[in-house]
């Protein structure tokens, strides 16, 4: 049995930033990550990170208030406004801190951090390092962790790679540790702690067509959900307008920010034909662009009824090589198209879960000692639609905040009493039996078949245009898959380096979160931000200006609703 | 749909005396990558097959392995470019834990040994440090390194000197050496000097040839060598 004052689960941007904050405050922290931290999905983020630095001449008047207003409007007024102010007020501090730690941001002519235009903002606010911003941010945070792992002047910091957290330990209503499966040795162990922070990323792999890494399954949301922590606003899913046809690998919004066009099969910039994107065109917010692209394809103006063209040719070789080298490389490797010479085939794809583990603006969940930050959590600062460039900002701002909150909790004595060792041993035994039971069953279902069926049903029934009938069909399928999941069989036994078992566990998370998403989407009878209901095509503030909360029960999620903080800006019709 | 043969290295050191190659028949789909083929095997033919993956987009560095004669990322290698048989082995110079899943510990230990973090000499205050576009440009391409260890597997020096720092760690040292904001030149040069450091590099260029990001790794090691020599010959010489 190991002991650390705080356990951070997940080694992406939010997790590492939280760990550094705890370390700075001399709290003994361990990061537990199912992959090496540098393999986390954060590394795939491309286009940039927002902050009101005012480094671009067109944005020199920028301020936290302007940034917050754009974020709230982008969220279709579902974001909590004071929390958004916290996000944008800390933005400049956190970005400059990342620069001080060594992030190689692209630069302006004066040598400052460069900024580019992104959707939902009237001027350039998105800081970037070519189109590899997530890569350099993650590498830099990991470098800082290595520095303090080695340093003696601060408290202990340990990173456990390739160890999978499989359960929370909750005693008397407070979180007191985690059960860990060491993937390399096969050992099931317990880490005792005063507090736990989850920073486990999103759940894109519920869907077939997604930009997310294969590891973004939602298991990190399902584990606290099963343990009784509510999940908030999970019906809100961001579909990114430009993902590569075939693989759904991301083509950054920066491509349009830098001036790229979206074209239909007639060669038209069709966004001009839709009221909500006529003015902002390619840099309208993601929900709007993805929806109008989908309409265009459904109405027969796409290519092969599947995709549209992202045309960068007019930007010229120099700008593409300077600003967008990464996506050029991806387009060449994965679809055989060089954007310098030809348009790139793109279609909308699942990109981001706005919803997640319910937290307040300090990163705290309703369960004492349990915190969440980054995509797995929901503060909410993104509401019904996240602006591009705000997700990485959320990871470093709320990663630091969650770390600080957990540190204060621990330093103030936590729950005030140490639990008995027996609860840990009990949890360890229970989890070991559960995992072994998964390959001792007599069922006949192959988890890969269930995953395929789930992906298809989510693509078909919980996509950009939603309606009751389809959502119900999706729910019926997922309920059936949850039953079949009890009958899975694995053909590889043993706990050491067993991917068969790992993917079966992940699938359990997939299914749990898909059920929450579908049912939340069905119950929300309005259209807001990313959720567009063809049977309820308008926003309904009277009945639905509220957050959805889902709590796990044996018979499926139990829903309740909570107030949205609209204390700064009165909700208005969202026009661009 | 045509069938393609995957011949895959299999070894579990806890049960096997020696490794073997097993051949699997996979139906080829348009645009299929080696990683997708491995998943097909793992999901449908043999659940015990072990290999790492994450982003499936060539940026996370999980899936470097030896594929048909050279080191590449499985996720961005198209099956159709490889002919009728795909032959897959794990990265060399790292202990096999299971099949294609190697123990990366020696690789990370060496990476950590060169102090892979910015060591600035000043207090920047509240604002960002200024860096000209030219200074920033010197970091282009070097910072693309995804630490996949393809270079480490390909390096023949790693084969006979277990303690050789290897191409990736040395490249990382040069990344900070070349950063105008970093002030630890002497310290870092010292870390890469010595018998397991830059002088072990025999400029064979294997690392450069296999690098999925086409980084001039051998050239970067050369920069460190040149500056070490310059420092020795004439301490007042300027960094180049």
Residue-wise pLDDT for B151-190, tens only, equals 999 999 999 999 999 999 999 999 999 999 999 999 999 9
Structure token digits, residue A457: 């049903």
- How much is the pLDDT for B236? 73
What distances in angstroms separate CA A148 from CA A16, A151, A154, B112, B168, one per listed residue?
12, 5, 7, 11, 21
- How much is the pLDDT for A285? 94
- Confidence band, pLDDT 50/70/90 cuts, at residue B198: very high
Radius of gyration of chain B (CA): 20
3-state helix, strand, coil split of chain B in percent (to 5) is 35, 15, 50
A 186-215: CB under 8 A from B = 213-215
- How much is the pLDDT for A439? 84
**Stretch B109-113: mean pLDDT:** 97
- How much is the pLDDT for A531? 98
Residue to substitute from B117, B129, B178, interface A, most A β-carbons within 10 A? B117
Q: What percentage of chain B exceeds 90 in pLDDT?
A: 91
Q: Does the structure's ipTM exceed the value 0.95?
A: yes
Q: What count of other Cβ atoms lies within 10 Å of the Cβ of residue B70?
A: 13
Q: Is the pLDDT assigned to residue B124 strictly greater than 80? A: yes
Q: Is A184 on the interface with B (CB under 8 A)?
A: yes
- Among chain A residues, the shortest Cα distance to B128 is held by A96
At how many degrees (to 10) do helices A219-226 and A499-523 cross?
70
- Among chain A residues, the shortest Cα distance to B63 is held by A39
CA distance B181 to A161: 30
**Stretch B44-64: mean pLDDT:** 97
**Are the C-beta atoms of A245 and A380 separated by less than 8 Å?**
no
Which residues in chain B have their CB less than 8 angstroms from residue A39's CB? Answer: 52, 54-55, 60-62
Q: Across the interface, do B117 and A143 touch by the CB < 8 Å criterion? A: yes
Which residues in chain B have their CB less than 8 angstroms from residue A147's CB? Answer: 115, 117
Please name the residues in contact with A350: beta carbons below 8 A apart, sequence gap of 6 or more: A204, A206, A207, A209, A210, A211, A212, A237, A238, A239, A240, A248, A458
Q: Is A334 on the interface with B (CB under 8 A)?
A: yes
Exposed/middle/buried for residue A563 (C-beta within 10 Å: 0-12, 13-18, 19+): exposed
Q: Is the pLDDT assigned to residue B104 strictly greater than 90? A: yes
- Among chain A residues, the shortest Cα distance to B11 is held by A497
Beta sheet of A163-171, edge-to-edge order = A2-3, A188-192, A174-182, A163-171
- How much is the pLDDT for A275? 96
**Are the C-beta atoms of B74 and B133 separated by less than 8 Å?**
no
B 179-208: CB under 8 A from A = 179, 181-182
Q: Is the pLDDT assigned to residue B87 strictly greater than 70? A: yes
Of A146, A249, A490, the CB nearest to B112: A146
A8: three-class secondary structure by DSSP: strand
Structure token digits, residue A113: 């951090």
Q: Is B15 on the interface with A (CB under 8 A)?
A: no
Residue to substitute from B30, B116, B143, B178, interface A, most A β-carbons within 10 A? B143
Q: Across the interface, do A102 and B181 touch by the CB < 8 Å criterion? A: yes
Q: Is B131 on the interface with A (CB under 8 A)?
A: yes
Q: Is A442 on the interface with B (CB under 8 A)?
A: no
- How much is the pLDDT for B1? 63
**Are the C-beta atoms of A409 and A389 separated by less than 8 Å?**
no
Which are the catalytic amino acids of A?
Answer: 286
**Are the C-beta atoms of B112 and A146 separated by less than 8 Å?**
yes
- How much is the pLDDT for A403? 98
Q: Is the pLDDT assigned to residue B237 strictly greater than 90? A: no
Which residues in chain B have their CB less than 8 angstroms from residue A146's CB? Answer: 112, 116-117
- Average predicted confidence (pLDDT) for chain B: 95
Q: What is the dihedral of CA A211, A212, A218, A221, to 10 degrees?
A: -100
Q: Across the interface, do B57 and A492 touch by the CB < 8 Å criterion? A: no
For chain A, residues with pLDDT lower than 70 are: none
What distances in angstroms separate CA A113 from CA A52, A346, A512, B133, one per listed residue?
11, 30, 42, 10
């Amino acid at each position: 049995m190991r002991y650390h004052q705080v356990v951070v689960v997940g080694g992406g941007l939010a997790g590492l930033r939280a760990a550094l904050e705890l370390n700075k405050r001399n709290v003994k922290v361990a990061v537990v990550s199912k992959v090496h931290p540098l393999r986390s999905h954060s590394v795939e983020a491309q286009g940039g990170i927002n902050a009101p630095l005012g480094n671009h001449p067109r944005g020199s008047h920028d301020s936290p208030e302007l940034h917050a207003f754009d974020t709230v409007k982008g969220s279709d007024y579902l974001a909590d406004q004071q929390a958004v102010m916290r996000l944008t007020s800390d933005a400049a501090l956190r970005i400059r801190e990342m620069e001080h730690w060594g992030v190689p941001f692209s630069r302006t002519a004066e040598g400052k951090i460069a900024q580019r235009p992104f959707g939902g903002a009237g001027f350039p606010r998105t800081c970037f390092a070519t189109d590899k911003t997530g890569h350099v941010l993650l590498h830099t945070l990991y470098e800082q962790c290595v520095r303090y792992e080695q340093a003696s002047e601060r408290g202990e910091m340990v990173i456990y790679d390739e160890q999978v957290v499989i359960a929370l330990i909750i005693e008397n209503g407070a979180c007191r540790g985690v059960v860990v499966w060491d993937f390399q040795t096969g050992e099931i162990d317990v880490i005792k702690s005063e507090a736990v922070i989850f920073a486990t990323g999103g759940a894109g792999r519920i869907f077939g067509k997604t930009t997310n890494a294969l590891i973004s399954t939602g298991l990190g949301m399902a584990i606290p959900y099963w343990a009784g922590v509510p999940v908030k606003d999970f019906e809100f899913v961001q579909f990114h307008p430009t993902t590569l046809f075939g693989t759904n690998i991301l083509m950054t919004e920066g491509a349009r920010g830098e001036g790229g066009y979206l074209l239909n099969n007639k060669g038209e910039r069709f966004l001009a034909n839709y009221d909500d994107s006529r003015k902002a065109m390619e840099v309208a917010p993601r929900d709007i662009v993805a929806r109008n692209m989908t309409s265009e394809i459904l109405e027969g103006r796409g290519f092969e009824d599947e995709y549209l063209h992202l045309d960068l040719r007019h930007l010229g070789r120099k700008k593409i090589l300077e600003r967008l080298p990464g996506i050029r490389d991806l387009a060449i490797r994965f679809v055989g198209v060089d954007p310098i010479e030809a348009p790139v085939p793109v279609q909308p794809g699942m990109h981001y879960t706005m919803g997640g583990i319910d937290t307040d603006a300090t990163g705290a969940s309703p369960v004492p000692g349990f915190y969440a930050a980054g995509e797995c959590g929901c503060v909410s600062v993104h509401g019904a639609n996240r602006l591009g460039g705000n997700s990485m900002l959320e990871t470093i701002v709320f990663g630091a905040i969650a770390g600080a909150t957990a540190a204060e909790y621990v330093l103030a004595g936590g729950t005030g009493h140490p639990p008995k060792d027996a609860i840990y041993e009990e949890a360890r035994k229970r989890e070991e039996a559960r995992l072994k039971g998964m390959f001792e069953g007599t069922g006949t279902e192959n988890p890969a078949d269930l995953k395929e069926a789930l992906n298809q049903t989510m693509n078909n029934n919980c996509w950009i245009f939603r309606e009751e009938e389809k959502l119900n069909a999706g729910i019926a399928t997922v309920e059936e898959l949850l039953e079949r999941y009890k009958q899975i069989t694995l053909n590889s036994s043993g706990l050491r380096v067993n991917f068969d078992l790992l993917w079966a566990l992940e699938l359990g998370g997939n299914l749990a979160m898909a059920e929450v998403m579908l049912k939340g989407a069905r119950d929300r009878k309005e259209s807001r931000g990313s959720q567009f209901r063809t049977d309820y095509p308008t926003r309904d503030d009277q009945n639905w200006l509220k957050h959805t909360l889902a709590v796990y029960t044996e018979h499926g999620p139990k829903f309740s609703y909570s107030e949205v903080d609209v204390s700064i800006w009165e909700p208005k019709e969202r026009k661009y | 749909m045509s069938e393609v043969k995957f011949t895959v290295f299999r070894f579990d050191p806890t049960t096997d005396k020696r490794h073997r190659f097993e051949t699997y028949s996979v139906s080829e789909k348009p645009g299929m990558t080696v990683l997708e083929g491995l998943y097909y095997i793992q999901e449908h033919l043999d659940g015990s097959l072990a290999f790492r993956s994450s982003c499936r987009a060539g940026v996370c560095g999980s899936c470097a392995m030896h594929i048909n004669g050279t080191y590449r990322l499985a996720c961005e290698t198209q099956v159709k470019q490889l002919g009728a048989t795909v032959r897959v082995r794990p990265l060399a110079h790292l202990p096999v834990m299971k099949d294609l899943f190697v123990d990366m510990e020696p690789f990370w230990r060496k990476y950590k040994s060169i102090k892979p973090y910015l060591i600035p000499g000043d207090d920047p205050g509240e604002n960002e440090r200024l860096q000209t576009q030219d200074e920033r440009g010197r970091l282009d391409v070097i910072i693309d390194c995804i630490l996949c260890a393809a270079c480490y597997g390909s390096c023949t020096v790693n084969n006979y000197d277990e303690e050789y720092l290897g191409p990736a760690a040395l490249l990382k040292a040069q990344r900070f050496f070349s950063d105008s904001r970093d002030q630890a030149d002497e310290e870092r040069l010292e870390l890469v000097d010595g018998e397991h450091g830059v002088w072990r590099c025999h400029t064979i260029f294997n690392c450069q040839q296999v690098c999925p990001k086409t980084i001039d790794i051998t050239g970067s090691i050369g920069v460190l060598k040149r500056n070490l020599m310059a420092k020795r010959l004439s301490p007042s010489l300027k960094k180049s």
